[in-house]
Structure 1
Amino acid sequence: MAPSSSEGGLCRSPGQAGSGCSRALFGQPLAALCGEDGTLPQPIQELLAVLQQEGPSTEGIFRRAASGTALRELREALDHGADVDMGSQPALLLAAILKEFLRSIPCKLLVTELYEDWMAAMQKASREEKIWELRAVAEKLPAANLLLLKRLLSLLRHIGHHAATSRMGCSNLAVCVGPNLLSPAHADLLPLEAMLEVTHKAAGWRPTV
């Protein structure tokens, strides 16, 4: 695997990347939240583990909305470092908080600076070439981003394999989760037509890494 871009300065905030755990969980560079051994922050590990278990049997997971009040309270608790029992939380709420966490990552999980690379890879004609190109772009991600991406794709694949109970196949999951993973620079300045195209492409991104 090529050297991680975490050493190349992609979307690094001064004084944060590689500095260990951060007080707040949301809105921080992922590298700043990971442990010195490169592991994902504990709340995210626990959340992913619960969704791995409960997601396949939860109808509409990642699609159905959770209570706005519950979502706000859980986010505030996690941001203040509270000891939250993830296993006691509804799966729909955990799915919603995971999407909110993904949206809050500065420069997004797939890194805004790599937006054109991702889009170019998606344009490849054959499935084999597309997968090869997507893997090549993935290797440019900071180590922490790549780790979470792999865990997330594993979770979504697991849920998609149980579409009979989750009612969420791969296409549905891509539509619900994909737009949280990547956006171009200055996305807020794009016209509506361009934003719709960006969302469509991001939702269709389902590589195997």
Structure 2
Amino acid sequence: MSPPRSPPLPNQMFGVPLALLRQRSPDGDPVPVVMKDTISFLSERGLEIEGIFRRSANVTLVKEVQLRYNSGELVSFFEMEDFHLAAVILKTFIRELPEPLLTYQLYNDIVNFATVPSENQAAAMKALVSSLPEENYASLRYLITFLAQVSANSEINKMTNSNLAVVFGPNLLWGRDNAMSLSAIGPINNFTRTLLDQQHLVFE
């Protein structure tokens, strides 16, 4: 484990453990503000944007929005009306968590998930995600429920479950040394795609 660089700033949102964000939340909400802001905007306005999550955003703007969040400012994507910025902020937030949303603890189970017979996969997946800490479970459920909405519009936005899994898989799980072994990417993306396919059974 590398030593922590420095303690998080009082309002810092990016790169901070989910449990700490929840402690700081006025109402103890397990789903972080950044995820709520980006997803509420995208689910209301961005479901029909072609290639959403595939395009990059203005790097300066991304840094600016991160800084605003980390300074404790309110951010409104409805005012900025920038779909790709919201999509990139969501991915960046998840990617910069100190521990992946799916946790190191589940890494081996997920990488080896393909060995689970297909008829048992929904139950196995449900057991795995149910073992997550509450804030991880709530945030994952919030994200996956939204991504199911995105793929329901895939005829317009071109983001099928497979496409979404390729984008989100590496942001949901990586190895402890922060390296992503090439052999693990396929299984992680496959798990993510199956989770999207079966989300109605996993999160009842």
Q: TM-score range by the shorter chain?
A: 0.7 to 0.9
Q: Which residue of 2 aligns with 1:98?
A: 90
Alpha-carbon distance in structure 2 between the residues aligned to 1:32 and 1:147 = 15
Residue 121 (structure 1) shift: 2.9
After the TM superposition, which of the residue ranges 82-91 and 67-76 deviates more from structure 2?
82-91
- Correspondence 1:201 to 2:187: yes
Q: What SS is found at the alignment partner of 1:56?
A: coil
Unmatched 5+ stretches in structure 2: none
Answering whether residue 50 of structure 2 is matched by residue 31 of structure 1, we say no
Aligned ranges 1:136-147 → 2 under 5 Å: 136-147=127-138
Alpha carbon RMSD of aligned pairs, Å?
A: 2.0
Cα gap change, 1:82/1:139 in structure 2, threshold over 3 Å: closer, same or farther? same
Partner residue in 2 for 1:173 = 164
Q: CA deviation at 1:175?
A: 0.4
What's 2:63 paired with? 72
Q: Which residue of 2 aligns with 1:3?
A: none
Q: Which residue of 1 aligns with 2:122?
A: 131
Return the alpha-carbon distance in structure 2 between the equivalents of residues 199 and 50 of structure 1: 29
With normalisation by structure 2, the TM-score equals 0.83
Q: In structure 2, what is the Cα distance between the partners aligned to 1:156 and 1:119?
A: 21
What SS does structure 1 have at the residue aligned with 2:112? helix
Do structure 1's residue 45 and structure 2's residue 25 form an aligned pair?
no
Partner of 1:120: 112
Contact 1:108 1:181 in 2 (8 A): yes
Partners of 2:185 and 2:67 in 1: CA distance: 28
Gap change, CA 1:119 and 1:22, over 3 Å in 2:
farther
Q: How far apart, in 1, do the equivalents of 2:46 and 2:125 lie?
A: 26
The Cα shift of 1:177 comes to 1.1
Q: 1:62-84 deviations in whole A, cap 9, x for unaligned?
A: 11111111111111111111121
For the 8 Å contact 1:115–1:184, the answer to whether it is kept is yes
1:2-42: per-residue Cα shift (whole Å, max 9, x none)?
xxxxxxxxxxx9xx9xxxx9520011111111235334233
CA distance in 2, matches of 1:41, 1:78: 11
Aligned length: 185
Alpha carbons of 1:187 and 1:37: their partners in 2 closer, same or farther (altered >3 Å)?
closer
Deviation at 1:132, TM superposition (A): 1.1
Counterparts of 1:22 and 1:129, CA distance in 2: 44
Whether the aligned pair in 1 keeps the contact of 2:111 and 2:184 (CA below 8 Å) is: no
Q: Distance in 2 between matches of 1:38 and 1:84?
A: 18
Q: Deviations over 1:151-193 (max 9, x none)?
A: 11111110101012111111111101111000122243x7xxx
Comparing 157-166 with 111-120, greater Cα deviation is found at: 111-120
Q: Tell me the distance in 2 between the aligned counterparts of 1:148 and 1:184.
A: 20
How big is the shift at 1:53? 1.4
Counting aligned pairs with the same residue, the percent is 30
The answer on whether the counterparts of 1:156 and 1:173 sit within 8 Å (CA) in structure 2 is yes
8 Å CA contact retained: 1:122, 1:134: no
Give the CA deviation at 1:119: 2.3
